Every structure is written in structure tokens, then in C-alpha cells.
Structure 1
Amino acid sequence: MDWDKLRIFHAVADAGSLTHAGDQLHLSQSAVSRQVRGLEESLNATLFHRHARGLILTEQGELLFDATRAMMKRLDAATARIRDSEEEVFGELRVTTTIGFGTLWLAPRLPDLYEKYPDLKIDLMLEERVLDLPMREADVAIRMKEPSQADLIRKRLMSVHMCLFASRDYLEDRGMPETPDDLHEHRLICQNPRSAQVGAGATLVNELMTYDVPSLLTVNNYFGVLQGVLHNLGIGVLPDYLARDFPDLVRVLPEVHSGEVPVFLAYPEELRQSKRISAFRDFVQKEIMEYRKTMKEQAVS
């Protein structure tokens, strides 16, 4: 099967348009159309339904697109490995993690990484869905549980607990609760137990709901919970790693917290020699060590 025709078919299927695919490939629309027709003739199959608003893949087209997508991902992986310099760190690095960890812990620390490696291009993909690393949906992941795939290199970074926090101004105005029963005098800010989140966090929220909390604000990510707490709306359920970076937060009811949430860094075995992966891994581990040191110092003081 002609590779050029497959490459052009993939671009058309991905763009949904002959014109857009031609722009990406620097080919005329007629040249793209001719290659697609040639591929259809060689397969004796119709790959696209054509209509005024663009192109839609047929069932046969979907099958071929699945194959070319997998091929492209493998080619991207090979290209990344080939381009990785023995001495320099450059190029795109696709990092996936949760919205909370990505916005509240990782993103604020990235300036130090860029200062050291200015030619690095990070694509930060924040979502609760676990992306498929072996299929190259991302290069490296930071996950709130141990990855299940066997063909991944994994490194446990730290453990997190979900805890209760409030702002100093809120506590000065409303008072510090002494027992969990006192929560009925406060507003609770948390993720909805049915939203995507770590299981330990959802369990803690369900337990807190049993204390007859009269006022509630639920948000679908921890960044929103933090904003509510910082703006004095109530007592929030937040990860304990925020205590270092947000000194205005005060821990409430220290005996109330979730179970342990392990944090893992993972990447495909095939990227073991990647200089970009190594640079990112070392950077994260260094930041984790500094975080642990600071937390120990705060505990002693």
C-alpha cells in the first residue's frame, strides 16, 4: 500500500477537509483529492462520505483511520527518540496530569524548568481521564494512583492526603471548629462526590456530609475549591501539598483527613533514553524533595 497515499488520507481524515489537509501538507486540493481517490480505487472501497460541510469517514474509512493513527503515534515515538540529543534537551514534551495537581502544583513550578531548558516545549494536558501512554496520547504522566500497564516505567513521587483548610480571614470571622460536629456552623466547599476525583477524596467528602452541614458549595475540580476558600466562602477539602504554596491557608481539624493518595510519575518503556523525559523526571523529583524538606521544617517549627 502506498505510504504517501496513507499519509495524505490520514491528514484528510484528521482535518475533515481536503482544503485544510492540503494546507497542512502544502499540496493543492486537487492533488489531495487525487491521492485519496487513488487509495479508494486500490482498496476498492469508499473511505469518505462527501457533503457540503466537509468529509465524514465511512465504516471502512474509520477502520483505516484507526490503523494510520496508531502508525502515526509509533512514528512520533520513533522520531522523538531519534531527535533526542545526547547533550541537549529540546522539542515537545506532552505531559498529562489531573486538573488539580497540574494547575496548583506543577504549573507554578515550570518557570524553573524552562529557565534551565529554554528550548523545551511542554504541552500540559490537564484532565481527569487517564490517557494511554503506550498509545502515545501523552509522553509522561503524573497520576494519583499506580499505573496498571505493564510496559510503563513508574516512579512513586510522594503521598497526598485530602484535608480541611480555611482562610485566616474566614476563621477570624467565623471561628475555628473544634470537632467535626462544629461543621454544621460552617459552609463546606468540596468536589461533588460523583465528579471525577481520587477515591480517597470522595470517601472523605461523603463522611463529612454525615455531619449535617447546612451550606455547601461543590466544584468539579480542586482549583475551584481553592478559589472558594481563598475568598472566604467556607472550609474546603483540599490536598495537603497546598499548605506550602498558600500561606494564607490554615489547616482545620487536623485529625480529619483522607486516606493516603499515592502520586506516580510514569512514561513508556520506549522513551527510557529520552533526554526530555529525563530532564522532566529529574526536575519533578527535585521539586518533590524540596517540598518534603519544607514540610518537615514547618512540622518541627
Structure 2
Amino acid sequence: MNVKKVKLADIDPRIDGRIRPVDESHAEIIAQAFEEHGQETAIVVRYGSGAEGAPKYILVSGAHRLRAAEIAKWDSIDASITKLNADEARLQEIDENLIRQELDVLSRARCLYERKELYLKLHPETKLGVNQHSGIATVANPAPRFALDAAARMGVSERTVHAYVSLYKNLQPETVKILQKTTLADDRQELIYIGSIAEPVLQVSTVKEAIFKGKKPSELKEEPVRLSGDALWLSLGKKEASRVMKMEVPARRVFLDELAKAGVIRPEQIVEAA
């Protein structure tokens, strides 16, 4: 990759979708280092779409350095220009983050979940079940399986990789947003518990209530509650009501409260179980 001066105005930072959000305090430290010693490591960018009005370059790695250059009021920055496409660039960003020790459990799980999707897209021949009848041409030197490749890069077992992917797969997108930058994001057991709540709305509501009360989701231990049978069946239907009654107590409590807030049922219809 060639290194050249690139104007900051020509770079799309793609901040919102990045694996590791920019920490302003860290960027300020880098900005001070820039002013004292200059830039030692180039950022990495790829070419934009070339469409009219589109950014000339898109950031691949170096978000903190790019932000530091803005803080230092530079108008340009040293950048290596890669020919990677969008998927390859995203995979590189993920791999750079996976080797960082400061990633919390949630961020690492997200990285591996997204990496698996990208890896299988770029290397379909490694997908489980693909064979000579799949329509995919035989590859002379096929890439290693996703879990094997990821495990080797991280220095962990394939089992650990699968566990991270499974953990993230069970979390709702809204749940992930709420959990980011909380202590729960680095609590593996609580993340597994949250993922065990299969009802999407209930999962999100449980996490919100736990954070509001300053508790862990698994600590929402309340007295068993239920709707009186007739009221529950009338409001939700027999099949749905039966499913609600099979939920764990904390989850059921949160779900019924949400139904009350939404006006589906009345608070006074919720009665303690005998």
C-alpha cells in the first residue's frame, strides 16, 4: 500500500458503524502526541464509490488517529490506500480489534459474529455442508474453516469462538445498544442469561429495568405474578397466554408490566400467584 497525504475533508470516517467507538479522551492524547512528535503510523483508507458527491476515501482503520488530526486542526493526514473492497475492509477492521485485550465480552462476541458472516461470504467454500454438488467451483487452496482461522488469530480454542458467536446471536440489536458501555457488557454469565430470554420485547425490557434498578438482569427476583386466567386469555389469546405463563418469574413480571404500559391489559388485572 502506498502512503500519501490525504485531506481530512476527503475521508468518510464511518464512525457510527465502527466496532470500537472513538474515545474522545484517547483521541486528545494522540492529538497532543501529533503536535509534539508528528504522525508515526498512517491510517488506512480505501477508495470510495467514485459517484458524484460521494467521499473520495473511506476509513478502514485508524479512527482515533483521524479524530486526533481533527482535534489538532490538521487539514491532511498520512494514509495508506488499500484496494480492499467493503467486505474485505470490514474484515480487516474486525481482525485488528480482535487482537486488542481491552475489548469487553460483548464487543468481542459482536466482532466474531460479524466476522463469521463476512468470512463465509468471502470464502463460501468453507461453509459447513458445501460439497461438489453445491455449484461452487473447487478451490485449489481453500481457506481454513472460519472457527479454525479465528481461533488461530486470537490464540483461543474453536470452542471459545463458537461460544462467542452463539452468545451474540441470541441478543437483540436493541439489547446490544443498551448494553454497550455498561458493566454488563463484560459480564459473560449475565449476557448468556439475557440471551436466554427468547421474547425480543421482553429481553429488551428486562435489560432496561435491570439497569434502571442498578441490578443484574438475573437478580430481578420478585414474587410470582400472573394475570387472572380469564383476563389473560381474553387479552392475549389462549395460546399466547399459555406461553407467557411458562416464562421465568422475572421475565414474566417485566413482560406483564410492558403489556400494562402499552394498554393491552390493566395493571389491576395482574394478581399474585397463589
Provide the TM-score with structure 1 as the length reference.
0.22
Provide the TM-score with structure 2 as the length reference.
0.24
Higher helix share: 2
Higher strand share: 1
Larger RCO (alpha carbons 8 Å, 6+ apart): 1
